[in-house]
Structure 1
Amino acid sequence: MPAGVTAGYAVVDVTTGRTVAQRQAHHRFRSASVVKILIATDYLERRRGTIPAGDMALLTPMLRGSDDDAATALWRRGGQGEIVRRMARRIGLTETAPPPAAKPGFWGYTAISAADIALVYRYLLRRAEPRVRDFVLGNLRKASQCARDGFDQFFGIPRAVPRPWAIKQGWSGYGAVPPVKCTRARATSYRIGAVTMGGNPVDFGRPVLHTTGVIGDRLIMVVLTLQPSGASFTQSAERVTKLARDLYLSVA
């Protein structure tokens, strides 16, 4: 990896569950928007019956366009960190943890690892109820190129791998204004120092850029990265895309 970049990744065969490529797969990173998969899955598993139109108006843009305001509303209603604890117990996640106690509303500070997020996708594909699987992955297959905060979320998997794919991206630490603004920017800046959570320090200061998803019907790919301080979004996206392409070519 380039100097100053920390990467953890896992590529899993959907059919067998075998990990076919990995590096620092158990290293913890702050989740940024990747946690939105857990927020949506938790909501759907607790909700029975028809999803109200108002809730649909939160879930759909949160999954497709990574809408932060929608995530915040659902995070508060679901009990904040309790969402993460419930999903960790249900799926068997061992490196995923809620945000620090001093920052309960900062869903993007949830700790995750590549290995755990690969388990989340495998859970959706193999163990979740069909209605939950179809809703979450169906929306991730329709991810928009321009996120609600104006950032281009087609880096990593969507730039490096041919369709079909279902993706959930994450980014944090690049400010509120994207290099090329697609829509009105509404990003929240998350910047505090590193806090120790479990096995390794989770860095909440340096920028993160993550690409995760299901490729076709046979691979799960999770690439989590911590970028150098001051790195631009464009530079970070290029690095993550190259890593995703190299990984895909090595296992395709």
Structure 2
Amino acid sequence: MRRTLLIVAGIVVGVLLTGVGLWVDPAHTADPTPAAAAQTDPAAHPKSTAPAAAPSGTPPAPSEPPATSRTTVPTPGPAPLADRAVHGALGAVVGGRVGLAVYDLRTDTLLADSGAQRVFPTESVVKLLIALDALDRGDSADLVAEMLSRSDDRTATRLWDLGGGPRIVSRMARRLGLAHTTPPRLGYMWGDTRTTASDLITLYRYLLHAAPAGDADVIFTALSNATRLGADGFYQYFGIPDAAGDRAWAVKQGWACCRPDRALHTTGIVDGRYLIVVLTTHPPQTSWATAERQLTTLVTRLLRHLPPIGAGARK
């Protein structure tokens, strides 16, 4: 509970001290990934074919533009990360693809951008869109929270079907102005929704600045209470949680193998201030343990350049 309060307090500070216009990077250098392999059983696990347990252009105008509010003068904060710092972090991932974006909510500044317009399968990160849609339709907040904190696929599939499947992605992409987020080719494969690090920064900023307050509270409380193991037994603390240590965090992770590559994503907020999105794919011969270690090392290197702001420690 203390961790949740710290996360929410940090987010409130960030909202009060930053401008609130949603940011979408207009640059688009698509880096398409191969089409996902079809599953023959729609009731099968839609996210991962790996064993359950693991070793440790101009964007379209939104049809439903999010509300804006007051704008304040940004306060001093970290300068955008130097190329050397970003390249040093990226060097942690060997033989894989990376899409990275870091955003400072307090100063309304993009601190790092490398491959942020590369397209990746969302895997479980799409549950953020499923959650927004479900809450908008009046579905159970408890059900949504369980889906997010435990990354529960059965619940995600249930809410996906109730919301019209791929239409959820299309509706939310228009509403939020997600320029490069597209539904899966196979309607039941929600994890094959495509997105970019840039679009996920936009999504998180919408949640913070324009989503209904009650919906945002449900979502961020769940993200700040992400369980160590997901509902399928997968270790969820790779990337941001393990790299942040005692710093407050709220995350939505994603993983799947192998369609055709091993995907591993870490996304969320550190100190209630820094939005961090790192999307990665790895060759299938790369073990989960290696992919997790590389991603955690990447985020650890980034956080060395993002000083804590006294938002409190995670307990």
Q: Indicate the TM-score class for this superposition, using the shorter chain for normalisation.
A: 0.7 to 0.9
- Give how far 1:59 is off: 1.5
Residue number in structure 1 paired with 2:82: none
Query: Are 2:164 and 1:164 aligned?
Result: no
Structure 2 residue aligned with 1:30, among 105, 121, 125? Answer: 121
Q: What are the equivalent positions in structure 2 for 1:1-252 lying under 5 Å apart?
A: 1=91, 2-47=93-138, 51=139, 55-100=140-185, 103-161=186-244, 162-173=246-257, 191=258, 204-252=259-307
Q: Distance in 2 between matches of 1:3 and 1:243?
A: 11
- Matched positions, count: 215
- Deviation digits for residues 46-69 of structure 1, max 9, x if unmatched? 32xxx5xxx345312210010010
- Give how far 1:214 is off: 1.1
- Deviation digits for residues 98-142 of structure 1, max 9, x if unmatched? 001xx1100000001111111111111111111011010111011
The letter for the 2-side match of 1:6 is R
- Give how far 1:229 is off: 2.0
SS in 1 for 2:304: helix
Q: Distance in 1 between matches of 2:107 and 2:171?
A: 26
Larger Rg: 2
Q: Which runs of 5+ in 1 are unaligned?
A: 174-190, 192-203
Q: Distance in 1 between matches of 2:281 and 2:160?
A: 24
The letter for the 2-side match of 1:31 is T
Q: Identity across aligned pairs (percent)?
A: 41
Q: Distance in 2 between matches of 1:223 and 1:206?
A: 16
- Deviation digits for residues 204-247 of structure 1, max 9, x if unmatched? 41010000001122110000001112211111000000111111
Q: Distance in 2 between matches of 1:234 and 1:112?
A: 25
- In structure 2, do the counterparts of structure 1 residues 3 and 139 end up closer, same or farther at CA, with 3 Å as the change threshold? closer
Q: Distance in 1 between matches of 2:216 and 2:262?
A: 30
TM-score, normalised by the number of residues in structure 2 = 0.66
Residues 249 and 269, structure 2, Cα contact 8 Å, conserved in 1: yes
Residues 255 and 264, structure 2, Cα contact 8 Å, conserved in 1: yes
Residues 10 and 222, structure 1, Cα contact 8 Å, conserved in 2: yes
SS in 1 for 2:128: helix
Residues 134 and 144, structure 2, Cα contact 8 Å, conserved in 1: no
The letter for the 2-side match of 1:14 is L
The letter for the 2-side match of 1:209 is L
The letter for the 1-side match of 2:101 is A
Q: Which runs of 5+ in 2 are unaligned?
A: 1-90, 308-315
- Deviation digits for residues 180-202 of structure 1, max 9, x if unmatched? xxxxxxxxxxx5xxxxxxxxxxx
- CA-based RMSD: 1.3
SS in 1 for 2:99: strand
> Structure 1 or 2: larger strand share?
1
SS in 2 for 1:251: coil
Name the structure, 1 or 2, with higher relative contact order (CA <8 Å, separation 6+). 2
Q: Distance in 1 between matches of 2:177 and 2:156?
A: 23
Q: Distance in 2 between matches of 1:3 and 1:242?
A: 12
Residues 40 and 136, structure 1, Cα contact 8 Å, conserved in 2: yes
